[in-house]
Chain A
Amino acid sequence: MTTATATRTHVAEVPTRRKAFDWGQVRTYIQAAIILVWCLLPAYWMIVTAFREVAYTYDPTFWFTHVSLENFRTVFDESLGNRFGQALLNSLIVAGITTLIALVVGVFAAYALARLNFRFKFLVLGFILGASMFPGVALVTPLFQLFTNIGWIGTYQALIIPNISFVLPLTVYTLTSFFREMPWELEESARIDGCTQGQAFRKIILPLAAPATFTTAILAFISAWNEFLIASQLSNDQTKTVTVAIASFAGSEPMQEPYTAVMAAGTLVTIPLVLLVLIFQRKIVAGLTAGAVK
């Protein structure tokens, strides 16, 4: 078989390199440019606003004008009670642990669902899905009371456990569908070829599963990172996450909307996240898939 890497596959219309001028490639670049503009234009506006003086918040000039760093200073200003650094750390802890646990637990469940025969499978699948059907806004009040009774308000687990349950259904379903598509028989043949089960898993299954697992991890991490409802009610000053911290920004006058500070915080939170994902994608996935058998 070919190298099992993230880049090994191509979809229909793979451009051929024989022609002198490659129209297929040009079409790809044009479409890529459209995607780029669609995804980044609103984000560009966020960044422009983040760098704008508060007095010119509503200035609709498309370019960077009235540039200032005051919004970024506001974001970190502890004398205003904006403990953004602490909030970033909290978000990392909550989203990181959530992703880790959800992934481990989800891989177990998905393996069982994709590879094992047992009764009531459909019931289990239905129950897992059912967790994504209740309006999230209606979960907060009962959870608040539950966690108050057991003294969990203001602890990390009060944020992590609900978050796990929010991302777990998606994690289990995506992993199940990917696991089902994996060529498990390759594992068998590798073992016939003399690999141990561990080797077969590491060299065949893991590289194949890596892109899908990684995608699932990104999706889980980002949804935990962005969770607001639970965090706003079940955290305290010490465990407040970035989304809550952003919602606590305020203008310097009552009623004044802190758009520029919110956009600055949005910029600060998003760019490292995207870079982090990129680095992970390159180093880890590439590392995992490098050892793949030919």
Chain B
Amino acid sequence: MNVQLPSNDMGVEHMSNRKFSRMTYPLAAASVLALTLSACAGGGGGTGGGAGGSDAEANLDGRGPITYVQGKDNSNVVRPLIEKWNAAHPNEQVTFKEQTDEADQQHDDLVQNFQAKNANYDVMSVDLIWVAEFAAKGWLQPLKDKMAISTDGLLKATVESSTYNNTLYTVPQTSDGGMLYYRKDLVPTPPKTWDEMMSMCSIAKENNIGCYAGQHAKYEGLTVNAAEAINSFGGEIVDNSGKATVNSDEAKEGLGKLAEAYKDGNIPAEAITYTEEEGRIDFQAGKLLFHRNWPYVYKLATTEASSAVKDVLGLAPLPGMSGPGASSLGGHNVGVSVYSKNKATALDFLKYIISEETQRFYVTQGSLAPAMEKLYDDPQLVAQLPYLTTLKTSIENAVPRPVTPFYPAVTKAIQDNAYAAMKGEKAVDSAVSDMQSAMEAAGAK
């Protein structure tokens, strides 16, 4: 830059140099300090290579206090649970580290702490879409041998979502599946297939309301909805080995159905801005005939004072090609960090968290759908939470979202291209083939 030297500068050259060195000394010191620390930190992104090998072998018998990390505890179920555990385990106290309510921030917080090899993050709740990434980075303790844990009685899809490369890395804590909410007063029998649902849109027109909406804004929810469309019509996004296989006629047909419905107005124009909440509000206000959403809507739509559909709320499995559709699986799993010092305690805590008692408490207290199969048929629970039967069908037909360590890139590829296809900015065929190439470019090949 423009260094304007003072005019009398020449005469004091050597003095100036001394002056300079004084001024820059602190700076030089700071950068030396920085570089030294940089060497210790081992840089930003990479992992220690391989399976986190030695870390995964260490501290398997360790017992003592641990920390449980989870996003915001909406329904206040974690605190009572931990209090109970702590009363019974005075020497193995669990501390609750509560993250924010935003999934992205939870993800980044976990990554930061894994990268820093933080031994104070022992047990963590892991959104099922992150399992493969964390496992492949060598951050999650494989749950085998000494750390083995039984998954008997847990829903098959949820166990699949806990598994990477044929090894169990987490255990499912809660599950979630999409369901079709509809207006019982206008539609006597719910549609079984997508085409049937579309044919019922004339009813919506007669009543001057929107026909169908899911989550179509460009965010994770669109991945969920696009994947449901693709899977329901027989397509597949990535195969078992993690290779992108989306470029198929089935996938094109599935995504085409969504795009067509938006073009026809069966999905109202404003749905392109909808996340879960905007859709729920519209449905609760009686402005939608059909609405795809998660189980949490049930409680709010039947109890909130502002709900106009309290008495006319119908619930059905998602419509598919010829029968129930393939819901995208939601939910959270729990895993143990390879850097934990007290893995034996952590394993006990894992068992406690997935126990029947805990899952029963979660679903009754907090609308958190259990991962344990038999709870869905429990007469007492079904009487209390009538949506459980429908949800079971949904989860039984559910497909985990793409299980790939490149999930952030894969979901981006789906969102960008599905969004463009729905808005009609791009033909469905090229959207699907671009999805494929974008996933391959990210490494899913």
Residues of A bordering B, CB below 8 Å: 53, 55-59, 79-81, 117-127, 140-142, 144-146, 148-150, 232-233, 236-237, 244, 247-258
Contact = CB atoms under 8 A, between A and B. Distances in A.
Contacts of A55: 304-307
B6 A117 contact: yes
B100 A254 contact: no
Interface of B: 1-6, 9, 16, 19-20, 23, 27, 34, 37, 40-41, 44, 72-76, 79, 97-102, 105, 108-109, 112, 115-116, 118, 176, 276-277, 281, 294, 296, 299-300, 304-307, 366-368
A237 B98 contact: yes
Contact of B73 (A81, A127, A149, A232): A81
A141 B34 CA distance: 14
B306 A145 contact: no
A248 B101 contact: yes
Q: Which of A57, A120, A150 has the most B CB atoms < 10 Å from its CB?
A: A120
Contact of B76 (A80, A148, A232, A248): A80
A97 B304 CA distance: 45
A120 B72 contact: no
B74 A120 contact: no
Nearest to B20: A120
A250 B19 contact: no
A255 B276 contact: yes
A157 B87 CA distance: 35
A127 to B, nearest CB: 8
15 contacts: A57-B281, A118-B19, A120-B23, A122-B1, A122-B2, A141-B112, A141-B115, A142-B41, A144-B115, A146-B37, A148-B118, A149-B37, A232-B105, A237-B97, A255-B296
Contact of A146 (B5, B20, B41): B41
B55 to A, nearest CB: 16
A254 B74 contact: yes
A254 B41 contact: no
A149 B109 CA distance: 16
B41 A145 contact: yes
A236 B98 CA distance: 9
A149 B41 contact: yes
A231 B41 CA distance: 21
A42 B343 CA distance: 51
Given A55-B305, A122-B2, A247-B102, A148 B108 contact: no
A250 B5 contact: no
A285 to B, nearest CB: 34
Contacts of A144: 112, 115-116
Contact of B296 (A53, A59, A146, A256): A256
A233 B76 CA distance: 23
Contact of A142 (B44, B76, B102, B306): B44
A256 B296 CA distance: 8
B324 to A, nearest CB: 22
A56 B100 CA distance: 24
A253 B105 contact: no
B75 A252 contact: yes
B5 to A, nearest CB: 6
A154 to B, nearest CB: 10
A123 B1 CA distance: 7
Contacts of B75: 252-254
Contacts of B115: 141, 144-145
A186 to B, nearest CB: 25
Q: Which of A59, A148, A258 has the most B CB atoms < 10 Å from its CB?
A: A148
Contacts of A148: 41, 116, 118
Contact of A248 (B3, B72, B176): B72
Given A55-B306, A119-B9, A248-B101, A253 B367 contact: yes
A244 B5 CA distance: 47
